[in-house]
């Protein structure tokens, strides 16, 4: 493979941060297929897709003679990026009882802590688990954020009902992001936005310095990112979430997700440490949010335009999500009311934009080591990570194989628990990545999320009078 220094491109500030050893982040996109995998067909589909031609997927990470990080364009050898596992992948579970899902989750959990990407080739791989009808796309976070990488992977896919058509994705529900970015004019609204921004920015700065959550059974900390992991999947139905959001005017799927998370964590804490926490005890989550301007449907070509507001890269901000421990109650929808009130305030503020700009400012003034240290302190001083990527809602195929599910998680952080939700074809799966010495039973937490949604759905049906 030939190298050319003339076309080297500098890394973005976010790319430099994600490549720091103390914050080395790899995204794992897990794709389930409906039948035995034709490896050659998938290899051919990937090879002719826009993904391999994209500059970030066809460049090496290098340092020039001055020590500056650069992307260097090369010719991609597709065979070096596709890793085929012919037989079963056995994890921690008892062999007689293990399912395909258990095997895949154990495999990804191992990758989350012990398998960095080699820098002698572009920073992505495709692992094909033939025995489990599953494909795992591993992509370094320096190449792009969840929306960017989801869009590029989808160039390898086609719509099941019309194979000539590429999929589309949603950056947010129609109008949700535009509401968040364009609050109504008026002195009161502007005053509230300014006040909330100042309040949340102050907390963000304090979190990066000294303020931290009180310890619970969910607490991680510096060094926990190196501990062994377990993964469980909470399987939610998007239609159930839509029914729940109808129970409170102007609610969104994100509001429902936050309500399910709050209620599910409270259920789990109550099971694991009954009477150990007072009602209202606060635990704080770090939510990564998309900052692109484009609401609604996003055509894949938009992300490739350099002047587009939805362009490629890491356009994400951090929002701190305060959750309150709930001992119990008779109204399951109370969690949704609380979550909506909290998320509405977060939307009105400019917290996510500040965190993004703050990171860029620190990076430009003090370098990636200091910026990474501050962001990592925010993680160390909070309890969990949560994100939500809206995937395609139509059924897709990959090289003629129907896709049965799409799930996402990342390599481990110093949190003991990270949660990533992706919606696809009416499903909304949450991958729960847990440090197993702190949270030995993430499958119990998954059931807590699932039961919380069902309780909210039943209460919503009773309230709005619709049939299931």
What does 258-270 look like in DSSP terms, one character per residue?
Answer: HHHHHHHHHHHHH
Strand ranges of the sheet holding 9-10, from the earlier edge strand across to the other edge: 9-10, 69-73, 59-63
Residue reference for tokens 């969910």 = 218
Bridge pairing between strands 282-290 and 384-390? parallel
Residue extents of the structural domains in the chain: 9-168, 170-391+412-464
Instruction: State whether residue 439 is helix, strand or coil.
Output: coil
Per-residue pLDDT of the chain (468 residues; tens, 9 = 90+): 445 566 788 888 888 888 888 888 999 999 999 999 999 999 999 998 888 888 889 999 998 887 788 999 999 999 999 999 998 887 555 556 778 999 999 999 999 997 889 999 999 999 999 999 999 999 999 998 887 888 888 888 999 988 888 787 655 433 344 444 444 457 888 899 999 999 999 999 999 999 999 999 999 999 999 999 999 999 999 999 999 999 999 999 999 999 999 999 999 999 998 877 888 899 999 998 888 654 444 455 555 554 443 456 678 889 999 998 987 777 899 999 999 999 999 999 999 999 998 888 998 888 888 999 999 999 999 999 999 988 888 999 999 999 999 999 999 899 999 999 999 999 999 999 999 999 999 999 999 999 999 999 999 998 877 554
CB atoms within 10 A of CB 41: 13
Instruction: State whether residue 72 is helix, strand or coil.
Output: strand
Contact 40, 25 (CB under 8 A): no
User: Containing H/E element for 14?
Assistant: helix 13-18
pLDDT reported for residue 41: 95
Q: Give strand ranges (E) for 373-435.
A: 384-390, 396-398, 401-410, 417-424, 427-435
Is 132 part of the annotated catalytic residue set? no
Residue in 81, 140, 141, 356 annotated catalytic? 141
Q: Give strand ranges (E) for 260-335.
A: 282-290, 297-298, 316-324
User: Containing H/E element for 422?
Assistant: strand 417-424
User: Containing H/E element for 85?
Assistant: strand 82-85
Architecture of the domain whose range is 9-168: 2-Layer Sandwich (3.30)
Could you give the dihedral angle defined by the CA atoms of residues 283, 284, 285 and 286, in that order, rounded to the nearest 10 degrees?
A: -160
Return d(Cα 310, Cα 306) in angstroms, integer: 9
Instruction: State whether residue 24 is helix, strand or coil.
Output: coil
CATH class, domain 170-391+412-464, is alpha beta
Same fold, 9-168 and 170-391+412-464: yes
């Amino acid at each position: 493979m030939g190298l050319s220094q003339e076309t080297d491109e500098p890394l973005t500030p976010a790319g430099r941060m994600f490549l720091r050893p103390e914050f080395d982040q790899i995204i794992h996109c897990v794709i389930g297929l409906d039948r035995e995998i034709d490896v050659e067909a998938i290899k051919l589909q990937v090879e002719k897709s826009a993904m391999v031609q994209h500059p970030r997927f066809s460049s090496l990470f290098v340092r020039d003679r001055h020590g500056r990080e650069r992307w260097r364009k090369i010719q991609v050898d597709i065979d070096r990026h596709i890793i085929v596992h012919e037989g079963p992948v056995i994890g921690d579970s008892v062999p007689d009882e293990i399912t395909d899902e258990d095997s895949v989750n154990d495999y990804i959990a191992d990758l989350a802590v012990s398998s960095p990407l080699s820098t002698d080739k572009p920073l992505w791989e495709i692992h094909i688990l033939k025995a489990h009808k599953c494909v795992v796309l591993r992509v370094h976070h320096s190449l792009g954020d969840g929306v960017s990488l989801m869009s590029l992977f989808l160039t390898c896919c086609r719509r099941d009902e019309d194979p000539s058509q590429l999929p589309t994705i949603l950056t947010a529900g129609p109008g949700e992001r535009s509401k968040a970015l364009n609050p109504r004019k008026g002195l009161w609204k502007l005053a509230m936005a300014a006040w909330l921004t100042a309040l949340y920015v102050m907390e963000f700065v304090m979190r990066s310095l000294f303020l931290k959550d009180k310890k619970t059974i969910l607490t991680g900390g510096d060094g926990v990112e190196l501990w062994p992991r377990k993964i469980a999947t909470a399987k939610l139905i998007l239609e159930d979430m839509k029914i729940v959001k109808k129970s409170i005017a102007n609610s969104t799927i994100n509001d429902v997700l936050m309500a399910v998370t709050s209620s599910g964590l409270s259920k789990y804490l109550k099971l694991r440490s009954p009477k150990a926490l007072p009602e209202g005890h606060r635990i704080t989550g770090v939510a990564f949010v998309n900052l692109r301007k484009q609401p609604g449907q996003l055509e894949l070509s938009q992300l490739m335009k350099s002047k587009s507001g939805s362009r490629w890269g890491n356009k994400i901000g951090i929002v701190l999500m305060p959750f309150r421990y709930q001992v119990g109650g008779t109204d399951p929808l109370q969690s949704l009311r609380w979550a909506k009130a909290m998320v509405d305030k977060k939307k009105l503020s400019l917290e996510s934009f500040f965190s993004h700009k703050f990171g860029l400012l620190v990076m430009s003034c003090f370098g990636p080591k200091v910026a990474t240290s501050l962001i990592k302190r925010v993680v160390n001083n909070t309890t969990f990570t949560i994100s939500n990527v809206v995937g395609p809602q139509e059924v897709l195929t990959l090289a003629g194989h129907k896709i049965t599910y799409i799930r996402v998680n990342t390599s481990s952080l110093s949190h003991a628990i990270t949660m990533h939700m992706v919606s696809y074809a009416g499903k909304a799966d949450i991958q729960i990545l847990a440090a197993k010495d702190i949270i030995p039973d993430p499958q119990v937490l998954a059931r807590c999320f699932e039961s919380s949604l069902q309780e909210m759905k039943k209460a919503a049906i009773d309230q709005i009078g619709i049939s299931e």
